[in-house]
Chains A and B, each alone.
Chain A
């Protein structure tokens, strides 16, 4: 993804400054670590290296290697250790370098972390955050490019956040760290240098509250993570043709703000859902189904889905660039919905 050409509205009130999404993540972690000594970071190359994306740079200098803990390359092992630490009074924030590596820790996330609270009849809690990445177009091929957030959204006991802006990233990550449940937190690795306004003051953003990134009345574009920028660019293209698109970002796939999605769908009567996961059995399918179930009689046309192609992510730029949704694609689908195809 290139740096988005679309500016987002500044959050209301207070003093803001422009920082990158990576800085927003780092600020959220540092503030929570200062606020609560139980919060610590665990993962591969999180300390001196600050991760390959440099998102964590500087944290080990402030908090020391006892709270910014470099692990061996053992995803299952250190996620499992984090689950046990979370069950016994700590609040670990795990770093999984590439979302693809979540596959190595699936038992610990799905069979252990997600189920401990329920299986224990509510006696044990797992206040665990797993930060990881999603998103293609980094020329990293099939094992470093997947967007696997749908898998975790499927599992009762897990929460899933995927911010699209520095403002959302900071506010949602602070909420994730304070949540008493395991939270999967997906950051698009192509967005770390995206800048946006972030308040100087402390704030959090509750889970399950969608954000309307652009108002409009003709068609709703529901978009997640970096697809918000794709949808906003599509909205600009559509505007030139007299179509006003509303862009809605759910911000968390679970809990899901059904109400805001449905309200927008009822208003516009036309909905396109855009997500970078594979299209089949994906987040787009769930969101489209929820909207169809709740707003069917207000819809002018079937809900449409735009997702990543159902192929492993290929390496060659010529091949890879076809696999992710583009503003042109999204605009074309929206145009069809509006009878302008």
Chain B
């Protein structure tokens, strides 16, 4: 067993993450493996018709959620998207209660009222996934305003896909966040596709010129490399905590599956070769694993152990959720008003 308190003190690491202990890198690997196993199970539930509705899988993008959330404290806020399972798990949600929500069960995070696209868990700082593209930009920015007004040093992270770059709300709140120096980090996950359309067909100009226009520092991040994501997130979060205002992170990533679980035939908008190339060359788990092995920070079998544990956690979680009770039908009228 590698010494878990040893740090990955390697010169090729970005400065901000040179103090990260090996155990923390392994925790991030395990979390990415959990997200991947979770999403594979979600797809399985859909294919076997055991899950009501649809879900949007995060597989391929794990390093973004895990790297960003690793830079946050439990009391910091996130808002998430329709493709939100990874963000929820990375911020601290439990696998079994996530499955309960996806299956519409009473022990789900929202008592089965939200489902896949609306998981909220205030206990872990998750203010909710959102089924309106870009819809949570106001909520995240408002949470940052609230933190500033209440005099805490909490930070809010707004996750959104590059599809949200078409929504006006984002620019309205970025303007105010910059004017008022709010502690918010805008994390754009560019997985290349606005649903079924390549972002180059929908997005004019240079993406980073947009935050720049508001005086918000922006940087492009390799979203497949959790080391780079964590480093960029640490820079952005530190800046927010210092009261210096918002940052925009453009994380380049890739969605291995379709827009949602039912989007199986994708040949009309992207090639199999493209998908295979990302999986082969740019897989976030592989990148972290190969670096750690090459750097002598961990052995191959440690990753196998982590993956097995992740699969076991997911298997137990889904079994629990499948057996769990539905809410009483009378709950339909509860929680309309506080």
List A residues at the B interface (Cβ < 8 Å).
40, 66, 71-72, 74, 76-90, 107-108, 111-112, 116-127, 156-157, 159, 180-181
Q: Residues of A contacting B215 with CB < 8 Å?
A: none
Q: Residues of B contacting A120 with CB < 8 Å?
A: 109-110, 113-114, 118, 120, 122, 128, 335
- Taken residue by residue from 146 to 176, chain B's Cβ proximity to chain A (1 for < 8 Å, 0 otherwise) reads as 1101100000100000000000110011011
B37 interface hit (Cβ, 8 Å)? no
Tell me, in angstroms, the Cα distance from A78 to B173 when the chains sit together: 7
B142 touches A86 (CB 8 A): yes
Q: Residues of B contacting A83 with CB < 8 Å?
A: 138-139, 142
Nearest Cβ on chain A to B173's Cβ, whole angstroms: 5
Nearest Cβ on chain B to A313's Cβ, whole angstroms: 26
A108 touches B111 (CB 8 A): no
Query: Knowing A107-B132, A111-B132 touch, does A81 contact B176 (C-beta < 8 A)?
Result: yes
User: Which 8 pairs across A and B sit closest by C-beta, in order of nearness?
Assistant: A80-B138, A84-B142, A77-B172, A121-B111, A84-B139, A121-B110, A122-B335, A180-B338
Closest to A255 in B: B337
B142 touches A121 (CB 8 A): no
Q: Which of A79, A82, A123 contacts B120 (CB 8 A)?
A: A123
Q: Residues of A contacting B136 with CB < 8 Å?
A: 112
List B residues at the A interface (Cβ < 8 Å).
77, 79, 108-114, 118, 120-122, 127-128, 130, 132, 135-147, 149-150, 156, 168-169, 172-173, 175-176, 179, 334-338
**Can you list 15 residue pairs at the A/B interface with Cβ under 8 Å?**
A66-B149, A72-B176, A74-B175, A84-B141, A86-B142, A88-B127, A88-B142, A108-B135, A116-B128, A117-B337, A118-B336, A122-B334, A122-B338, A123-B122, A157-B337
A121 touches B175 (CB 8 A): no
A76 touches B172 (CB 8 A): yes
A80 touches B141 (CB 8 A): yes
Q: Residues of A contacting B142 with CB < 8 Å?
A: 80-88
B145 touches A84 (CB 8 A): yes
Closest to A158 in B: B337
Tell me, in angstroms, the Cα distance from A90 to B145 when the chains sit together: 9
Tell me, in angstroms, the Cα distance from A77 to B142 when the chains sit together: 9
B111 touches A76 (CB 8 A): no
Q: Residues of B contacting A159 with CB < 8 Å?
A: 337
B128 touches A124 (CB 8 A): yes
Query: Knowing A85-B146, A117-B338 touch, does A124 contact B169 (C-beta < 8 A)?
Result: no
Query: Knowing A76-B172, A87-B143, A117-B336 touch, does A122 contact B138 (C-beta < 8 A)?
Result: no
Q: Residues of A contacting B127 with CB < 8 Å?
A: 84, 87-88, 124
